[in-house]
């Protein structure tokens, strides 16, 4: 349940370290974003000497939330932090590596490149 | 005399409780025919012939027995105690043997709840005879083999601490906490899910709680507790 003003960790090596959600892409006046949704973020903290800089507005896809993700077989997955992967306009990740566990639902949402880079697909 | 008074009171009480739902029982069916006809009218023909079904039918038999009696004939519903004037309205065999003085009849929702409990227990027993499910308590370290139907392979050996267990009959669930690639992940599984191929208890830790949610704040080596 990510909403504007939510801080998110970054799960790739694109150069940003912390992001803040500004807007949820999709329907207008959408309240919360979940895993697999694209959001507009601003970079609050960045690693120096990388293409991404602080206070840059970019897009990201949410890969981990503290709010549970329900599956059809009755199982529930809940992570310990909120994290996102920085993407470009088409949906390709900007970084080359992805850290942490990625849920399987991203594959159905056409983020196959992120899923293939993931060290562990939950 | 007293039995008639008691029976009228009983009849009124039954009328109040069942007037809406069992309106059709006040028809001219005799009590003896509470058989497959009635059960079909109640929509129970697809009911499995289990204890729950017999419980329901017998409890409804008791209801129909008392409510289909016409109040003008004073002795008909107390015919269990007395012999009637020859009316063969009550012909059900079980009225002759065990004759309680009052017909105890629970409210319909209580009866339904009881039946659901029986059905649930039967479903749980059925699953338990299929697979061996060990006892899982909070504090156990457990290794699961979870089948993922999307990959069509038996991926996912899930190993973690059980932090919670919720008992709800067939929907009993338990939560496992583990560290995956540096991120803490909690998963909740239904205990009787067919996707859980194997559950193995690896270790048992002593805990003094039923729900170990305090482990979310402790970050150091969760599996070592």
Residues of A in contact with B169 (CB under 8 A): none
Residue ranges covered by each domain of chain A? 6-121
Q: What is the pLDDT of residue B25?
A: 41
Q: Phi, psi (5° rounding) for residue B104?
A: -85, 125
Chain segment B46-57, per-residue pLDDT in tens: 445 456 555 555
What residues have CB less than 8 Å from B18, skipping those under 6 apart?
A: B25, B63, B67, B108
> Which residue from B minimizes the CA distance to A118?
B181
Interchain CB distance below 8 Å, B182 and A99: yes
Class of domain B110-216: mainly beta
What ipTM did this prediction achieve? 0.86
Residues of B in contact with A74 (CB under 8 A): 173, 189-190, 193
Q: In whole angstroms, what is the distance from residue B217 CA to residue B158 CA?
A: 21
Percent of chain B whose pLDDT exceeds 70: 51
CATH architecture observed for domain A6-121: Beta Barrel (2.40)
Q: What is the pLDDT of residue B39?
A: 42
Lookup: tokens for A100 = 């942490």
Chain segment B99-140, per-residue pLDDT in tens: 667 777 778 888 888 899 999 999 999 998 988 899 999 999
For chain A, what percentages of helix, strand and coil (3-state, to nearest 5) are there? 10, 40, 50
**Chain B interface, mutation test: which of A11, A101, A107, A109, most B Cβ atoms within 10 Å?**
A101
- Chain B residues within 8 A (CB-CB) of chain A? 148-150, 173, 180-190, 193, 195, 216
> Does residue B24 register a pLDDT over 50?
no
What residues have CB less than 8 Å from B204, skipping those under 6 apart?
A: B137, B139, B140, B141
Q: Using the structure block, give the residue that is written with the tokens 């409890």.
A: B59
Q: What is the pLDDT of residue B217?
A: 87
Q: Is A83 helix (H, G, I), strand (E, B) or coil?
A: strand
Residues of A in contact with B173 (CB under 8 A): 74
- Interval A4-15 mean pLDDT: 93
- Interval B149-175 mean pLDDT: 86
Interchain CB distance below 8 Å, A75 and B181: no
Q: B150-165 burial by CB neighbour count: b if 16+ within 10 A, else e?
A: eeeeeebebebbbbbb
> Does residue A68 register a pLDDT over 90?
yes
Q: Is B175 helix (H, G, I), strand (E, B) or coil?
A: strand
Chain segment A18-41, per-residue pLDDT in tens: 999 999 998 888 999 999 999 999
Q: What is the pLDDT of residue B110?
A: 84
């Amino acid at each position: 349940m990510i909403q504007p003003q939510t801080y998110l960790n970054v799960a790739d090596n694109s150069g940003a370290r912390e992001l803040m959600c500004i807007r949820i892409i999709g329907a207008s006046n959408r309240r919360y974003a979940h895993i697999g949704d694209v959001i507009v973020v601003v970079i609050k903290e960045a690693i120096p000497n990388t293409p991404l800089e602080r206070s840059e507005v970019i897009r990201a896809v949410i890969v981990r939330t503290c709010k549970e993700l329900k599956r059809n077989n009755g199982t529930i997955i809940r992570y310990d932090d909120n994290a996102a992967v920085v993407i470009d306009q088409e949906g390709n990740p900007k970084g080359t590596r992805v850290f942490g566990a990625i849920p399987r639902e991203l594959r159905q949402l056409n983020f196959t490149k992120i899923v293939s880079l993931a060290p562990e697909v939950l | 005399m007293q039995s008639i008074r008691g029976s009228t009171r009983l009849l009124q009480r039954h009328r109040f409780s069942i007037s809406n739902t069992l309106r059709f029982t006040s028809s001219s069916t005799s009590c003896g025919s509470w058989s497959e006809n009635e059960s079909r009218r109640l929509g129970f023909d697809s009911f499995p012939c289990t204890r729950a079904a017999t419980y329901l039918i017998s409890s409804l038999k008791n209801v129909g027995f008392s409510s289909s009696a016409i109040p003008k004939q004073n002795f008909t519903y107390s015919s269990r105690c007395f012999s009637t004037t020859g009316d063969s309205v009550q012909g059900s065999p079980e009225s002759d043997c065990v004759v309680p003085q009052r017909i105890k009849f629970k409210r319909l929702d209580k009866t339904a709840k009881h039946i659901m409990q029986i059905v649930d227990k039967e479903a749980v027993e059925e699953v338990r005879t299929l697979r061996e499910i060990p006892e899982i308590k909070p504090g156990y370290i457990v290794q699961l083999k979870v089948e993922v139907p999307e990959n069509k392979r038996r991926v996912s050996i899930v190993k973690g601490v059980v932090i919670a267990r919720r008992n709800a009959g067939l929907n009993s669930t338990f939560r496992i906490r583990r560290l995956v690639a540096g991120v803490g992940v909690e998963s909740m599984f239904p205990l009787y899910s067919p996707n859980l191929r194997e559950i193995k208890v690896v270790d048992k830790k002593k805990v003094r709680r039923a729900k170990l949610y305090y482990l979310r704040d402790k970050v150091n080596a969760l599996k070592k507790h």
